[in-house]
């Protein structure tokens, strides 16, 4: 998500300064740590639809601290984005959608049904198709014999 946001920001010339990048990275790590701890709190062995699994026995107080860090860093991120929107009149919206989806959406999906954790790596890989598509479009557009921009194909809705 962070990488997708940075790529979209560069493509749209809406660069983040070092302080804003740090806010985004701290938020990313805080939410990722919380997600990991939520799946590993005080359960060392369990069964899900007959499938036996094991987790690390992370104390519940570590999750409480992680929740505070995730909520605080999310609030700081929202304030930073609102400030940038007011100052610059726009944001790299597709990158923000990728950032939010990779940090928050998959956590919600996994909480609904833990089997979705098996699909998360595939979803993570799918997000890079947009980057590859954009790169290839730019390569084709920049060829000396190109007469116009390449025709939009399947990922054209992603911007």
Q: Tell me: the pLDDT tens digits for 74-128?
A: 999 999 999 999 998 888 888 898 888 888 877 777 677 767 777 777 776 776 7
All structural domains of the chain with their residue ranges: 2-158
Residue 19: pLDDT band (50, 70, 90) is: very high
Is-contact 79 27, C-beta < 8 A? no
Mean pLDDT of all residues in 42-62: 73
Residue 147: pLDDT band (50, 70, 90) is: low
Integer CA distances (angstroms), 99 to 1, 12, 32, 102, 124, in order: 4, 16, 12, 5, 11
Could you give the CA distance from residue 101 to residue 103 in angstroms, rounded to a whole number?
Answer: 6
Could you give the CA distance from residue 78 to residue 99 in angstroms, rounded to a whole number?
Answer: 12
- Alpha carbons within 13 angstroms on the beta-carbon side of residue 22 total 3
């Amino acid at each position: 998500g962070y990488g997708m946001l940075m790529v979209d920001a560069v493509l749209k010339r809406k660069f983040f300064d070092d302080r804003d990048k740090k806010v985004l990275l701290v938020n990313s790590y805080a939410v990722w740590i919380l997600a990991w701890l939520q799946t590993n709190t005080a359960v060392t062995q369990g069964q899900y639809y007959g499938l036996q699994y094991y987790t690390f026995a992370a104390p519940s107080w570590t999750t409480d601290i992680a929740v505070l860090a995730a909520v605080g860093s999310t609030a700081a991120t929202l304030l930073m984005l609102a400030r940038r929107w007011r100052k610059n009149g726009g944001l790299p919206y597709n990158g923000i959608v990728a950032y939010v989806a990779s940090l928050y959406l998959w956590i919600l999906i996994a909480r609904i049904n833990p089997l979705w954790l098996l699909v998360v790596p595939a979803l993570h890989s799918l997000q890079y198709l947009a980057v590859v598509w954009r790169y290839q479009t730019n390569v084709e557009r920049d060829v000396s014999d190109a007469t116009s921009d390449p025709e939009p194909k399947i990922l054209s809705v992603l911007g």
